[in-house]
Every structure is written in C-alpha cells, then in structure tokens.
Amino acid sequence: MRTPKPGIEVVQTLCRMCDDHCGINVHLDGGSIVDIDGYAAHPWNKGRICVKGRAAIDMVYAPDRILKPMKKTEKGWQEIDLAQALDEIAGKLRAIMEKDGDRAVGIWKGEAIGFAQQEDLARRFCHALGTPNYFSNDSECYVGRYIGYSLVMGALPVPDYANSDCIVLWGANPPYAHPNMTRAIMEARQKGAKLIVIDPRLSAIARRADYYLPLKPGTDGVLALGIIKLLIENNWYDKDFVEQFSIGFEKLARYTRQLTFEFVADETGISRELLEKVATMIARRAPRVVNYAGNGLEHHENGVNNVRAVACLDGLLGSLDHQGGNLLPEGAGLRNLTLYDEIPLQHLGPIGADKYPVLYDFRQECHTMTAMDTILSGEPYPLRAMIITAANPAMTNPNSRKVVKALEHLDLLVVRDLFMTETAALADYFLPAASFLERSELHEHRIYQIINLTRKILSYPSCQDEYQFWHDLAHRLGAGDYFPWKNETELNRWLLEPTGISLETLKAHPGGYRYGPIRYGKWREKPLATPSQKFEFVSAYLKGKGYPELPEYRSPAYLADRDEKYPYTLITGARKLLYYHSRNRNFPRFRKAVPGPEIEIHPSDAEELGIASGEPVRVTSKIGSLDIPASVVETSEIVPGFFQITHGWKEANVNLITPDAANDPISGFPLLKAIPVRIEKL
Ligand SMILES: Nc1nc2c(c(=O)[nH]1)N[C@H]1C(S)=C(S)[C@@H](COP(=O)(O)OP(=O)(O)OC[C@H]3O[C@@H](n4cnc5c(=O)[nH]c(N)nc54)[C@H](O)[C@@H]3O)O[C@H]1N2
Ligand SMILES: Nc1nc2c(c(=O)[nH]1)N[C@H]1C(S)=C(S)[C@@H](COP(=O)(O)OP(=O)(O)OC[C@H]3O[C@@H](n4cnc5c(=O)[nH]c(N)nc54)[C@H](O)[C@@H]3O)O[C@H]1N2
Ligand code: SF4
Ligand SMILES: [Mo]
C-alpha cells in the first residue's frame, strides 16, 4: 500500500471491476475516493491489482454516469422522481400480469452482478412475483462448463493451481481474464509445475507454456479423448478410483479404442507426437494435475460434450479433489435466497426449458436467445415486460439486430445501469444503479475457504443497491413478504446466520475469514452429487433426455459441413485486459491505450486477401456483415484460416454477425467461437 497522505482514510473491500474480487484499499479524502491500490493481507491478490481495479474511480465518477431515474417520453428522456418511477413501473407490471399472467414478465441479470446474493435476489424476486422467467448472461457464460463438469462429477471444481505439478488450460487466458489466476499459476511454475495451453491463438498465457497446442476451435473434445486413449492404452490411469468410484469406464474405453490417432490429428491439427508428449507430461505428474476449461470451450455446438471429455480426465488422473488437482468446492453454508423449492414454477413453462431441459434442471435458468423469439412471436405465450439489471444484451447477446428488435417490441422495458448503454437506450425507464462500491455483500473465495464482507463506501440518493430495488418493487406488487429485511445489512446478517459467523467478525477480517479447513478426497466420505453418486464417464440422465450418454465428439460444422460461401472461421470474444464485455469504453485513458475494435488476421490469410493492418475488411456470416479494421498478427499468433474479433465495441459490434440459433443442444449456448464467415477487402 502506498503511504496515505495525512487526512486520508483507507478502507478495505473487494474489487468487482471483474469477477476476480481482489482485496483493495480505497483511499478516501473527505468521503471522495482519491486512490485505489491492492490490499497486501488478502491471500488472493497479495497486494496486487490490475489496471481495471484502479479504474473503478473512473467508473464511479465518470462524467457520463447517470445518477437520476429517467422516463422516456415523447420529448425524449426526462428525469423522474424515484418513488414515482417505481410506482409507475409497478402499475404497468400489474396491468401486464393481470391481462397475460405473471409469466409475461421476465427478469434479466448481467455479469456486473453475477454470482451469489445479487444474482439470487433477482431470482428471488422472479419467483416471489410468480414468473419462472429468470434470464441472465449465463445463457452464454460459465453454465456450459458448470453443466459439463456437474454431469461428470456433480460440481464445477475449483482448481488448486498453487499446489499443482501440471496445469492444463483449455481455452482460457488468465493474464487478461483473471489476473490472479495467473499469479497462482506462476507461483506453481516457480515450484516446478509444468504448463500446457490449448488455444487456437498464441495467447498471453500460451507464450509462457511448456507445451502450446494450437488446435482448431471446437475440437477440444476429440483432443481430450485422444489423451484419454493414451492414458488407457498405456495403463496410466488410477485404477482404484475408476473401479471404486466411477461408472461407465468400459464404455468410454471402448469408444476411445475406435477413435484413431489420425482422426484426432486431422480434426485438431495437433500431431500425434505432440499429443503423446503432452499425455506423458500429464500422466507423470498425476494426480497433482489441474485441468481448467475456460470460456473458449463452451461457445460451441458441441461445447458441453467437449467439456465432459476434459472433465473425464480428472477421474482417470486421480486428480479429483486431490491437493494440486481440481477440488470439490465447499461453501460457508450461507442461507439460500432463491425460492425455487418454496415456489416451484416449472409448470408455467419457463422459456426455453422445453428445448433445453438440462439447462433448466441444472440452473433453473431460462434461455435468452429463445426469449427474443418469444417476445417477437408471442409463442408459446406473451412475454411483454422485462427488467434488466447489470447487463447490456443489445451488445453482448448473439444476433444483436434481433435483440434490439425484440427489446423494442416489449410493452415495458426497465433497465438498471450506471450508463446509457445500447440496451438502456431502448428502455421505457432508466434506473440508476449503485456500483459495487455503493453496496455491501458477502463473497466467498472457495480456494482458500474464506468469506469477505464488502464495504459500502459511498452512496448517491437515487442510486439503489440491488436489494433496495427489488425490495421496493416487491412491496409495491404484493410480494413484500419475501423481502422483509430493512436493508442490505439485515439481509447480510440473515444470510450469515447458519454459519455462526457474525458481520462484526467479517468486518474485523478484511483479508477474509476462514470458514473451514481445506479438505481433500471428500468423495471418500460423501457421495458425489451425480445421479449414481459416482464419477460418471457415461450419463444415464443425459441418455434419458435423448442425448448421447458418452461425451461423444461431434465435428464442428465448419469442418464437417463446410459451406464454400463461408471459407473462413471466426472466433469471437477473446478477452483484452482493459475492456470488460461492453464496459470501460468511456474511460478516456483506456481509449487512448486501445482506441478501437479490430479483427486479428494471420499473415498468410492477409496476403491471400491482399489486406494490410489498419485497412478495413468486411466480415460476412449467414446472418449479416460487419466492417472492421484489420490487425495482421505475427505468424504464430493465430492458426491460419481463423480470425478473431473481441465483442463489446459499438463501433463494430461482432454480435451483429453471431448466430443465435446454432446452439449447443444440451446447454443452449450459442456458437460464438467457430463461425463460418467470408472475408473481403473493402
Ligand atoms: N479483461 C477482461 N476480463 C474478463 C472479461 C472481460 O471481458 N475482460 N470477462 C470475464 C468473463 S464474464 C469471463 S466468462 C471470463 C472468460 O475468461 P477465459 O475463460 O479465460 O476466456 P478468454 O480470456 O476469452 O480466453 C479464451 C481463450 O479461448 C480461446 N479459444 C477460442 N475458441 C477455442 C476453442 O474452441 N478451444 C480452445 N481450447 N480455445 C479456444 C481464445 O483464443 C482465447 O484465448 O473472463 C472474465 N474476465
Ligand atoms: N461474441 C461474443 N459475445 C459474448 C461473449 C463472447 O465471448 N463473444 N462472451 C459472453 C459472456 S462470457 C458474458 S459473461 C456476457 C456479458 O454480457 P453482459 O452481462 O451484458 O455484460 P456487460 O456488457 O459488461 O454489461 C454489464 C452492464 O452492467 C453495468 N454495471 C456495472 N456495474 C453495475 C452494478 O453494480 N449494478 C448494475 N445494475 N449495473 C452495473 C455496466 O455499465 C454494463 O452496462 O457477454 C457475452 N457475449
Ligand atoms: S483482477 Fe483487476 S479488475 Fe479484477 S478484481 Fe482484481 S483488480 Fe479488480
Ligand atoms: Mo462470462
């Protein structure tokens, strides 16, 4: 920590400029934030923060931040009193529900309040109101992996990087996406751990790997199956675990037996020689092996099964819940805020649950892409109102043109945000939201089994925190009984109660309070949360729903069913350090550093197309075209024939050309990372 000047108060809390939740010191001068730096006593970031963390100041005090509620009128946006706005919104919701039923209302939370209590408050409000239609960014984030891993081992595990001897990263780039994960990985590297990175782009982390596998996108499943084949053929797997704690091993072995190494190499572009080196490296270091699947795996038509194949490795390597492997998470035991058990609403037909029953079973989530069709068609029933908080789907959901059309078609759209986003611009009411520094919430870092209470550092009169907003609206709509707590602090106390830990204790431990010892091998005493209570190489549950029981590999469409009109393949959404989805573009210093969008192009493709860096190109998919400047990268930085565009730029919104109907049949996730396209010089 920098030494504060006299008169400066320093308060500890957690950063939420990304989902990494670093411990930070907030320096206050007369109540105003003048600096932010890393809190040395927090075990997760140990005093370090990234450039986005300090930019929380830019966000909170941004000149374009909206601090007053607004209503759209014939004369455009007009300021409105908060209570008046909530009264009007409640009145309109009541009228819609009376005419078309409670399920005509949808609630949508975004990444900015993802996970834990803020998300659960939105879920709670939904069911308290009587509608099953809870939506979120998780129709395209994290849930593909959550479902994939949960099918195999009953949970999404927590990687124990720091104690690992071998770390395998599948489609993840922590230096940009999760800076502290990088710190833990580098700590393990210093102790001798090996690093294997699997990515079609030579990402920041791939540059530091012992082995880098530049595979073709969407082929991770067959690569994992190739490794599994080698582990089984060479007897390099944990026979005790397999015999005692798993089901379906023989079927998996039979399946990999008929896969040839030639096929694996053809599909992935990774030679058998490299595959063998990697499998040997992993097997020698088992069980202290972390297999981590990132966002790169789930944005595919066969995403869940690719993730399942990767997850199967944990059972073969004996790394499940082993120190230095993938740990089964243990929470602090907070109270559950959702009302899914108290007020089950599946009979009302949650949107998308018929098409993606596994998504609803595992997550009680509705499917956002299906919702756009429902709004526009009124089928299978009218969806007429939506409250969106902390999301900007007009930029971040696939097929943005349809998203905008659908949101415009609603009878009532309410958006809670800090800024007038592309989504907020479509709303009838804009409600200014409290930022993370303006609320107090509980957060668990499960890798250390610590829990933190974040501090409310400042407030603006009309910027409600998430709790106050749902509370006030619920009380206006006759659902107030479900929101009885006077404020966030009371809610936090109620959530904590069963743990026996007090708010005061948490306040006294800004570096996190340890809620329990880290335990390994828990599956020995406690059955896994799968239907068989064992590690499932095959899933009878999936089979019962009409899906393959094995993590079967299906070749991506751009390989199996190539359309010559779209000879290239587009990857989207690779994270950049400064920007967070559609956020942070309004911070002048960030803009100066990285001024605009670009498409990453391999030099040989650039030559073939006659394109140089900085020149605009037109990218066309089946659903539309996008013009964007080229950035010709170094030869080894991307696999030839593949291109990359990061999302979130209004100047060239890549989601104008991403499809909303080429979805993973299990999770419903959209195809965002292997889109067939045509590319022309403009
Ligand atoms: N700065 C910043 N940080 C963020 C975010 C942000 O927008 N900005 N977003 C946050 C969120 S919500 C998320 S979900 C996480 C995501 O964080 P990560 O899971 O680490 O995702 P990315 O950083 O996009 O890295 C994904 C990598 O997968 C590669 N890839 C693409 N397709 C494939 C494939 O088929 N197979 C394999 N093996 N690799 C593939 C891409 O080239 C890319 O390098 O980041 C979080 N952190
Ligand atoms: N093509 C393509 N599209 C993608 C992806 C991809 O890889 N490729 N990745 C997808 C992924 S993984 C994700 S998670 C989604 C994210 O999609 P979204 O959830 O839409 O994320 P953001 O665009 O960051 O929007 C968050 C909004 O919340 C606002 N906000 C910030 N803090 C607060 C707060 O405290 N309270 C409230 N109420 N609002 C706040 C911000 O100003 C911002 O407008 O994008 C997805 N879109
Ligand atoms: S990595 Fe950066 S943005 Fe994310 S929580 Fe830490 S300091 Fe904040
Ligand atoms: Mo995400």
492, HSE (Cβ side, Cα atoms, 13 Å): 23
Neighbours of 287 (CB within 10 A): 21
pLDDT score at 275: 98
Average pLDDT, integer, range 484-494: 98
Return the ligand 1 atom nearest residue 20 CA.
47
What contacts 490, CB < 8 A, 6 or more positions away? none
Return the ligand 1 atom nearest residue 174 CA.
20
d(CA 253, CA 267): 20
| pLDDT 10s digits, 445-486 | 999 999 999 999 999 999 999 999 999 999 999 999 999 999
Average pLDDT, integer, range 623-639: 96
| % of the chain surpassing 90 pLDDT | 99
Task: Give me the amino acid identity at 529.
Answer: A
Residue 330: pLDDT over 80: yes
pLDDT score at 5: 75
Neighbours of 502 (CB within 10 A): 13
Average pLDDT, the chain: 97
Does ligand 1 have an atom closer than 6 angstroms to the CB of 226? no
The pTM for the full model equals 0.98
| pLDDT 10s digits, 240-287 | 999 999 999 999 999 999 999 999 999 999 999 999 999 999 999 999
d(CA 364, CA 99): 25
In this structure, the residues whose C-beta lies within 6 A of any atom of ligand 3 are: 15, 17-18, 20-22, 45, 49-50, 52-53, 179-180
Residue 191: pLDDT over 90: yes
Best residue among 52, 178, 181 to mutate for probing ligand 3, ranked by most atoms within 8 Å of CB: 52
Supply the angle between the helices 143-153 and 303-317 in degrees, to the nearest 10: 40
Burial of 524 (0-12, 13-18, 19+ CB in 10 A): exposed
CA–CA–CA angle 347, 352, 356 (5° rounding): 100
Please say whether the beta carbons of 196 and 282 come within 8 A. Answer: yes
- Cα of first residue to Cα of last residue in the chain, in angstroms, is 51
Does ligand 2 have an atom closer than 6 angstroms to the CB of 118? no
Does ligand 1 have an atom closer than 6 angstroms to the CB of 296? yes
Please name each of the domains of the chain with its CATH number: 9-60 (2.20.25.90), 70-132+332-514 (3.40.50.740), 158-327+522-544 (3.40.228.10), 557-681 (2.40.40.20)
Residue pointed to by tokens 């109660």: 497
Return the ligand 2 atom nearest residue 583 CA.
24
How far is the centre of ligand 3, averaged over its atoms, from the C-alpha of 110 (Å)? 18
Nearest to 648 by CA among 594, 573, 590: 573
Q: Which ligand is nearest to the CA of 600?
A: 1
* 59-86 residues labelled b (16+ CB within 10 A) or e (exposed): bbebeebbebbbbbeeeebeebebeebb
Does ligand 1 have an atom closer than 6 angstroms to the CB of 173? yes
d(CA 303, CA 659): 15
How far is the centre of ligand 1, averaged over its atoms, from the C-alpha of 572 (Å)? 9
